[in-house]
Each structure stands twice: as C-alpha cells, then as structure tokens.
Amino acid sequence: MKRYIYDNVLEDLKKKMVFITGPRQVGKTYLAKDIMKNFKSPVYLNFDDIDDMQMIKGRSWRLNSDLVVLDEIHKMKGWKNYLKGTYDTKSSLQNFLVTGNARLDTFRQTGDSLAGRYFLYHLNPLSVKEISGNMSAYEAVVALNTLGGFPEPFLSGSEEYSERWRRQYYTDIVREDILDFSKISEIKAIKLLLEMLRKRIGVPLSYTSLAQDIQISPNTVRKYIEILESLNILFLIRPLHRNIARAILKEPKVYFYDSGYVDSEEGVRLENTVAVCLLKHVQYLQDVKGKEINLFYIRTKDKREVDFAIVDKEEVTHIIEVKLSDSGVSRNLKYFKERIPQAQAIQLVHNTRHDREVEGIQVMRAGKWLSELEA
C-alpha cells in the first residue's frame, strides 16, 4: 500500500532532510523502504542494529549512496549535532531521510540546532480517506472502529489477530518505551492510568478525579499523560479559547491513535475514529501546506459542548458533532452555529442513508465526509 505522504516526502527530499515521526508500528520503516526504490544506491541504517550503529557513528556508508535512511537515530547521544554536521558536509547527490518516534517532533521544544535543514512529517494510522479506495466508506468506518488503523492488524482483517497484536503492542510499549521516560516503580501506576483512560474517551479529563482513583497527585497524573502523549499512544484535544494559555489549563479530551484499543461502546469508538481522521487531516495540512490549522473542541461554562472544531489561524472553519445513528440535529450544534455563523456546522452520522441540510447544518454520512478529507 502506497502511504498518503509518499509523493510529498519524495519531492521534499530534493530540498532538505525529511523527518518522519509517528506511533510505533504505524509504517514508518515500510514507507522509508518503499521510497528507497526510487534511488539507485540507497542505504538503510537502523541505530538499534550493532553493525549499523557503528556505520552511523563513523559515517561510513558508501560515498555513492544517493539516499541515506537513518532509523531510530534519536537514540544516539548528541544526534541533533550529528545530523547537523552530516547534512552540512554531505555531497550534493545525497539525500537524508530520518525516521523515528515522537522525539523527532518534541525535541524542538528544547532548542533546534537543525533549523532550516529539514521538513517534518507526521505519519498517522490508516484513515477512511486512505482506505476508501479498497472498500466502501461505510465499511471503512466499521473496520477502523473494530480493528484500529495500524496497518498490520487492519490488513489482517481479523478481530482475533488484531486483539493478539494489540496485547503484544501495548506490552512492548510499557516494557520498553515508557521505561525511557519513567522509573520501574511508576510502571504499575501508568498501566492503571492507561486502562482508565481507555474508558474516558471524548469526555473532559479531570486530573484530580484520576489522581484520587490511582492515589497519586494530579501533577503526577498530568506527567504520566504527557508521557503517553509523547509516545504517540494517545493525543489530547483541548477546548477552544481565544486565550491559548487558558485553554492549556482547561480540561482536555483524550483519544487513542488505535480505535481498537478503546474500551467502550460503538458510538464512543466512532468518535475516536473521527478524532484520528481529523488529527491526520490537520497534521497533513500543517506538514504539507504549512497551514496554521488546529483541532479543538468547544465547551461553555454551562456545559454546552460540540465534539470538534477546526480552526484555521484564528477563524473557526468547521464545528463537528458525531452521532452513531440519525436521531435529529444536535441542539448544541444549532447553538454554536448561531454564534459562529461563518463556520460549517456538520453532524456526522454513521448509520444514515442520506445527506441533508437542516437549518444551515449539514447532516452527513460519516464515512462519506471523512473519505473526502485531504488525508
């Protein structure tokens, strides 16, 4: 399967280094090796391999290598300066593709010695848009709700296989990745928090409530959620507020990159699948077109809420409510449409046969609308 950022990455390699980040097993290595087919003398080096590690440290790959793929390079001490020096002294014929986990993204918060030398891409799980060419949009939503969007379990087509894959996937993450950020003594609490979050999809999180249940401090809960977010296990959507600093302090909603991991009923899994598709769409527009576009939800003091809001710069362009079945237009969506008239108000319904408009609100088949996003 040709992944959705394939052509963009191939084009940008002519200009700068390209970084690809995303969750573990989302297909970064597969994509890199697929792109290698376009070059005459490519080389793939993984820092986890002892022989490759030595070659990376010594920069001893073949001089005629026209594409150098460096996987897991962020695990090397001083990797940013290493890449800076490597890129600044490379021959004009060489291209560099760097793949790895979320640290390729988050390192920018601590100072960026690589400024102006790379383009960054987020590789996300499969979405309705990416797979709708192989099945109907409705069937794509059903499959993503059940199997999740990670390529291996999804392409298996088997619920049993996807459950086996999922059990091993999260075991490996806890055993290997989380230990990079925390202490062994904290693993039990993080695992418990992870289980609790599986049941809290799409609702504003109370750090205090979670802390009481786990018997740790709210600040520790916040720290653990930041770890899970940095590992691309889950992502947070924050409430829309003109004062961004205040929005960060308000209660976020949590979603998992893997909808199959959500421990709830079908409607909640549907909302998670929509959240993943919207995040992928927004990050694609950020990475490929440089847009200042972000994903939020809206909630007022009197608890009127709409599931999602897309904001381009400072303008709300879409307000979106998600429903499993067609049971009339959401009153909250009507409320916000009246107050944000410039925004497209969309109610996505999974089980409906026809699209229609009601009082300026577009009631759309969820699968069809998601299949028309840009990624």
On whether both 247 and 363 belong to a single domain, the answer is yes
Distance CA 9, CA 196 (A): 37
Q: Where is the domain boundary, 93, 122, 151? A: 122
208 and 266 both lie in a single domain: yes
Q: For residue 151, is pLDDT > 90?
A: yes
pLDDT for 111 beyond 60: no
| Average pLDDT score over residue span 222-238 | 93
- Give the pLDDT score at 268: 98
pLDDT at 109: 47
> Do 227 and 345 reside in the same domain of the chain?
yes
Res 205 pLDDT > 80: yes
Domain that holds residue 26: 6-122
240 and 288 part of one domain:
yes
The residue with greater pLDDT, 366 or 314, is 366
Residues in the chain: 375
212 and 347 part of one domain: yes
Going by pLDDT thresholds of 50, 70 and 90, the confidence category of residue 22 is very high
Of 364 and 250, more confident: 364
For the ranges 104-108, 141-145, 160-164, which has the lowest average pLDDT? 104-108
Of residues 371 and 175, the one with the higher pLDDT is 371
What pLDDT score does 135 carry?
95
In this predicted model, what pLDDT tens digit does every residue of 55-96 receive, in sequence order? 999 999 999 999 999 999 988 998 989 999 999 999 888 999
For the CA atoms of 335, 336, 342, 348, the dihedral, rounded to the nearest 10 degrees, stands at -100
Query: Across all residues in the chain, what is the average pLDDT?
Result: 92
Mean pLDDT value of segment 162-181: 86
> Do residues 270 and 294 share a domain?
yes
Q: Do 154 and 73 fall into the same domain? A: no
Any domain includes 118: yes
Give the least confident one: 186-190, 258-262, 267-271, 366-370: 186-190
Res. 158 pLDDT band, cuts 50 70 90: very high
Same domain? For 132 and 230 the reply is: yes
Residues 35 and 92 in one domain: yes
If asked whether residues 257 and 349 sit together in one domain, one would say yes
Comparing 35-39, 183-187, 211-215, 344-348, the range with the smallest average pLDDT is 183-187
- pLDDT tens digits, residue range 249-298? 689 999 999 999 999 999 999 999 999 999 999 999 999 999 999 999 99
Of 19-23, 239-243, 245-249, 253-257, the least confident: 245-249
The count of domains in the chain is 2
The pLDDT tens digits for 50-65 are 999 999 999 999 999 9
Burial label, 267 (beta-carbon count in 10 A; 0-12, 13-18, 19+): middle
Whether 245 is in a domain gets the answer yes
- The rounded Cα 220 to chain-centroid distance in angstroms is 24
The CATH number covering residue 56 comes to: 3.40.50.300
- 351-166-130 Cα angle (round to 5): 50
HSE-up (13 A, CA, CB side) for residue 126: 28
The confidence band for 185, taking pLDDT boundaries of 50, 70 and 90, is confident
Last residue of a domain, one of 122, 138, 170: 122
Span 231-255, average pLDDT: 83
Boundary of a domain, candidates 103, 122, 141: 122
**Chain centroid to CA 238:** 15
Which sign does the torsion angle of CA 80, 233, 251, 194 carry? negative
